[in-house]
Amino acid sequence: MIQLGVNVDHVATLRQARYRGGSGEGMSEPDPVHAAHEAELGGADIITVHLREDRRHIQDRDLDVLVRTVRAKLNLEMAATDEMVGIALKHKVHMATLVPEGRQEVTTEGGLDVKGQASRMKDVVKRLRDGGVTVSAFIDPVSPQIDAAKAAGFQMCELHTGPYAKAFAEAGGDMLRPKLNAELETVAVGGAQIAAAGMRFNAGHALNYFNVVRIAGLPGISELHIGHAIVSRAVFVGMREAVQEMKELMVKAHRR
């Protein structure tokens, strides 16, 4: 059955907008730990947080508490740095997703260049796997990067669905538009290559309540990782309901 990973980073973004430089202690709100609990009650299978080098949203305290309280799988999005590897191993997170990280970006833009950093990736993946952490690569859906991820020892790949989401918005979801069909096919072909290589096929980035159905219906897909759309919906209906709505859409599409 397809699984939903809920990224609670943007709850922390809202908190840090008011409590800049704060650790998330005391009166600081909203608390991403509370959001994670509500997401679990709504049916989240995975809780995802991205601990960035500059600590712009998720703080070390958040991860400390989440490790002790999350009952679902905990996925740490992270740059492939020695600091982050140490943090992942110290906390014994269930899963680590290696992502590119830029200081000026609002959110992760583009996939990780595994092929261009083959030696480094192999070393980082080995250290994490030796520590009992399952490792995923957030990559663009292109064959050389998938081959490189397999060679580096990644157990799963999360395909970057940003271009598909952009094409969906531009086409208004009209699947008769060639560009939209092409972007969906690119993800589908990449997913098939991942599965054929013996890795788990995941996907994420810019997925929302409108465009998620086509991705959730792709053959062999295991996990979708979604944050901004769910947190945005939660502003109006609450986190638990927002997660339930997304999970229902995914499961129905996957069954079809």
- Catalytic residues, by residue number, are 50, 77, 205
Residue 33 is encoded by which pair of tokens?
């730990």
CB–CB of 112/100 below 8 Å?
Answer: yes
Residues 6+ apart with CB under 8 A from 200: 136, 155, 156, 157, 194, 222, 223
Candidates 213, 202, 118, 122; CA nearest to 173 is: 213
Residue 32: cis peptide before it, omega within 30 degrees of 0:
no
Question: 164-190 burial by CB neighbour count: b if 16+ within 10 A, else e?
Answer: bbebbeebeeeeeeeebeebbebbbeb
End-to-end CA distance of the chain: 12
Give the torsion sign (CA, 85, 90, 96, 101): negative
Please list the residues that pair with 200 across neighbouring strands: 156
How many residues are there in the chain?
Answer: 256
CA–chain centroid gap for 134, Å, is: 14
